[in-house]
Structure 1
Amino acid sequence: MHRSTLRSALALAPFLVLLAACASPSTDAPPPETPAPPATPAPPSDRVCTEIGCLNGLSVDLQSAGGWKPGKYRFEFDFDGTATTCEATLPLRACDAGPSVTCSPNGAVTIGESGCALPPEQHGFSGFNVEGMPRSVKVRITRDGATLAEATSTPSYRKVQPNGEGCPPVCQQGHEAVRVP
């Protein structure tokens, strides 16, 4: 090794020893603490729990492959042995003329009307909602007396908390679909 290189290395040796000593952990110091896992945040005291979006019941989508044709429709339902019948005619009434669907008994089921502000060939039915949680559902849909669809279901329901965990209300909701050719 060249003398100047050796001198430079020897001159740096004390600094390297000092640097190594500073970088080594001390055996006298306690081990670093392990951070505690994050706590689950408590709901804020000013949290508002609303009733919105929390309805017990069953919703059923009506999936029409070819669109809804003009005619007189009849929806026959059996919810746990209780019959309900709804009737409507397509095209729908004007939007401001009120609902086009009438049901008997009234209030047990609501059928969604779709397209009243659109051209008549785009009118149809989006689905229906049932109050309560029937265990057995039978549906028969006819147009001008001809059967379009029949379905039987035993829906399952899931717990829904629209405001989040720990904030009431708690509802039970089910969701199904029926294909209508």
Structure 2
Amino acid sequence: MIIKETKIEGCFIIEPQVFEDKRGYFLESYNQAAFNRALELDIKFVQDNESQSSKGVLRGLHYQLGKYAQAKLVRVIKGRVLDVVVDLRPNSSTFGEHISVELSEENKTQFFVPRGFAHGFLVLEDDTIFSYKCDNFYNKASEVGIIYNDEDLAIDWKYSKQELTISEKDLILPNFKNAQL
């Protein structure tokens, strides 16, 4: 696997080794020992999640508070997404900054997001399947978020508001200045 650092400390782009031939392809999507050695971490994922969405669906920006915070390893099994994270670590030199990564079935890229980040994604193709591992269990009471179109964050989602499908829950999230940290 190839590990690429991003402009935000702790976030990594991971490109797995893909073996292709006339039958198709094979890749090792996760190996705990190799992953932890490569990233110099000690992460133990405890929950896998998967969602299927149509083009234009925007999910996020979500995160969990306190002891329920989650690190995530995300990837696309089918289709394509624009994956976005926002640094919410108050003592970080990149606090309030975001990065976007395109994940697709073609590039097979994975994105590691440590604890302390809001996360969201925009689906760029119909019938996209998005998968992610979490290092902590979901806790509904600690789930919070930030509105996707926050003016201070200025995230370029590449789509107009009219092209987006967003849940009612996500449309009433607070802005970055009023977010719980």
TM tier, smaller: under 0.3
Larger Cα-atom Rg: 1
